Amino acid sequence: MSRTTQPHDFARSNCAVASTLDIVGDKWSLLVIRDLFNGKSTYGEILESGERIPTNILADRLRRLEEAGIIEKSAYQERPVRFAYVLTAKGRDMGDILIALVRWGKKHIPGTQALDIAMRTGDVARAGRTRKTAKARR
């Protein structure tokens, strides 16, 4: 039984890496999560990202991420109905994964750039503690 909810039906195995990849291991899901970390919240805003996600794929990934409990949506307009998307606590916990990918990419893929994702994840808290510790030592 899972520590957080109920038993999980594993698609491939009970390996944590394989199970995580079953949820976010496609070409687009982590980019959608990245965009939500970086302040985008609507379908149109995510669609404008530089990677040019196809509309049908974006709709599918938003649905899958919502079903997995990584994002939630709420209507911000009634006619036509339009939704805003936000990361849940479970989704925000993926920040460390994104930071690790940013660090690896910047180190090993020359010319890559990173959005200011560290400011929207747990690195802010760690950076704040580091600055406070440094000030206390002075």
What average pLDDT does the chain have?
A: 84
- What pLDDT score was predicted for residue 10? 80
Dump pLDDT digits (tens) for 59-84: 999 999 999 999 999 999 999 999 99
Read off the pLDDT band of 125 (50, 70, 90). very low
Q: What is the set of domains in the chain, with CATH numbers? A: 1-90 (1.10.10.10), 94-138 (no CATH)
DSSP-based three-state secondary structure for 137: helix
Report pTM.
0.78
Task: Determine what percent of the chain falls in helix, strand and coil, rounding each to the nearest 5.
Answer: 55, 10, 35
φ, ψ (nearest 5 deg) of residue 82: -130, 145
Dump pLDDT digits (tens) for 28-69: 999 999 999 999 999 999 999 999 999 999 999 999 999 999
